[in-house]
Chains A and B, each alone.
Chain A
Amino acid sequence: MRTLKTSEAAALLNVSPNTLRAWERRFGYPKPQRSAGRHRLYTHGEVAALRDALQQGLSISSAVSRAREALSTDTHTLVGALASFELDRADSAMEAALALRSVERSVEEVLLPSLDELGQRHGIDSAPWAFAARWADDWLRRAQRLAPPPVRPLSVLVGDATRNELDGDSLAVRAFELFCGRSGARVMTLPVGGVSGLSDVIDALCPDTVVIAGSHVSDDEVAQWAYRVRATAGPLPMALFRRGNHSNRVRTTGARVLPDTPFGAHRHLLVYVDDRPDERVGHGVPAVSLLENVEVREARG
């Protein structure tokens, strides 16, 4: 995916960088990502779509609307390909999406909405859903294998509480894993149903945080798994992703509830973990609770 700096995007649109930032505030488009140095990075596809729309537009608003519509064609193509069971065309639709967007945005703006639409159209117990969900699961796993090796000193243990890859939350969990991996974190996902040999895995991974993801498995089973994790690794910070409404339990355990979108959840988790330097407790050492530390710091403001 080709990205443009603010000055390059402004030049392509024949406007000033200030105008481009004013459009971002007023219209929310083009929507830049941020570089490691927090500079704006625009996707070439978005800027090009807007440039074309501006040539035939009557206002910036209508041009933005038309540019957004042009970009949404990838979703229509993917839905059509999956609905007609054409794997090659589905792969091509994602390739086209990746030409215009980052992996994260391609997943959030094209892959997941397409699957949502298919799920609503056919139901998640249907054959078309099974076909589409398996393809999407495979696509996300392939993308994860192509992700760069871990560079961030962060290990995340994900407790998978979904039913299987046909669970409605499963793809969001896969996407969350992918985004964390692409952010440089080391991620390992284990089903919360299995506790045998868990301590060996924890010893090898040395997780900094645990995320319970999915809502299929019962609270009791999750609690048993989480207890085993803490007994081995110490009182690690815990977060919940797509676990449904568990506000009462969250208050007593101090677990964080992550946003429902994979990208929002991974950002939230990274900010949460990055905000607590030098607090890592050696695994197996039940020292001062990290969660207590966080709560005290928050209380101090």
Chain B
Amino acid sequence: MRRLRALRPVEVDERGPGYVAFCGHCGTTPAQPAAQQSRVCGHCGLGLVLQAHADVAPRSDEPFLVIDSTLSVCAVSAQAEDLLGIDETEAVNQHVADFLVPADANAPSAENLLVLLVEAASGTGAPRSAVVRPRQEFGVRFRARIGPCGPPHAALLVLTS
């Protein structure tokens, strides 16, 4: 009688091709496929491994924030902590507008940034861009890439120069 081979789980990236994994704190890409390891980053140990489309995902030196659908900050990368002068432990659960506000004079409305974030946090919407500045700071602007990330569903806001 033919013996059945032992069943093995098949590793499938839930989000399909084109998505990359990165640490929510240091931004580095984990060495092993995400399914084979803990969600905690093996490099810094201070962030959870998230996934985002390659068009949005941060490069290792880019600061970023992760925001949920209620517009609360859920993660602040180490680079963003330095750039914005905030600690992730204090920023978590606060409204994103406490730290970043729209800075594009040509934007159709002040809510534009927040609308983009809510859209991205719902897991839909293509990668978009916006111009933002730190709250209570003037003369400083950053271009931001915004898109979905997770799991669970959240918005990724990557600050670029």
- Which A residues have a C-beta under 8 Å from some C-beta of B? 13-16, 18-19, 22-23, 26-27, 54-63, 65
Contacts and interface: CB of A to CB of B under 8 A. Distances in A.
Query: Ordered nearest first, which 7 A-B pairs have the shortest CB separation?
Result: A59-B75, A19-B45, A14-B38, A58-B74, A61-B92, A62-B74, A61-B88
Contacts of A26: 46, 89
Interface hub of A22, A54, A56, A57 (most chain B Cβ within 10 A): A57
Given A22-B45, A60-B47, A14 B40 contact: yes
B24 interface: yes
A27 B89 contact: yes
A62 B93 contact: yes
B20 to A, nearest CB: 16
Contacts of A62: 74-75, 92-93
Contacts of B88: 59, 61
B47 A18 contact: no
Q: How large is the interface on B (under 10, 10 to 19, 20 to 34, 35 or more residues)?
A: 20 to 34
B71 interface: no
B25 A59 contact: yes
Contacts of A59: 24-25, 47-48, 66, 74-76, 88, 92
A19 B40 CA distance: 9
B154 interface: yes
Contacts of A58: 24, 48, 50, 66, 68, 74-75, 150, 152, 154
Contacts of B46: 22-23, 26, 60
A74 B76 CA distance: 30
Contact of B40 (A15, A27, A61, A65): A15
Interface in B59-115: 66, 68, 74-76, 88-89, 92-93
Nearest to B156: A58
B39 A55 contact: yes
Interface string B148-161: 00101010000000
Nearest to A63: B48
A62 B66 CA distance: 11
A57 B68 CA distance: 11
Nearest to B74: A58
Nearest to A57: B48
A256 B152 CA distance: 52
Contacts of B76: 59, 61
Given A15-B45, A27-B89, A61 B75 contact: yes
B96 to A, nearest CB: 13
A54 B39 contact: yes
Contacts of A63: 48
A22 B41 CA distance: 13
Interface hub of A13, A61, A65 (most chain B Cβ within 10 A): A61
A27 B25 CA distance: 14
Contacts of A55: 39
28 contacts: A15-B40, A15-B45, A18-B45, A22-B45, A54-B40, A57-B74, A58-B48, A58-B50, A58-B68, A58-B74, A58-B75, A58-B150, A58-B152, A58-B154, A59-B24, A59-B25, A59-B47, A59-B48, A59-B75, A59-B76, A59-B88, A60-B46, A61-B76, A62-B74, A62-B75, A62-B92, A65-B92, A65-B93
B55 to A, nearest CB: 20
Contacts of B92: 59, 61-62, 65
A272 B66 CA distance: 47
B111 to A, nearest CB: 23
Given A23-B45, A59-B25, A62-B92, 18 more contacts: A13-B38, A15-B45, A19-B45, A22-B45, A26-B46, A26-B89, A54-B39, A55-B39, A58-B66, A58-B75, A59-B48, A59-B76, A60-B25, A60-B46, A61-B74, A61-B75, A61-B88, A65-B92
A26 B93 CA distance: 17
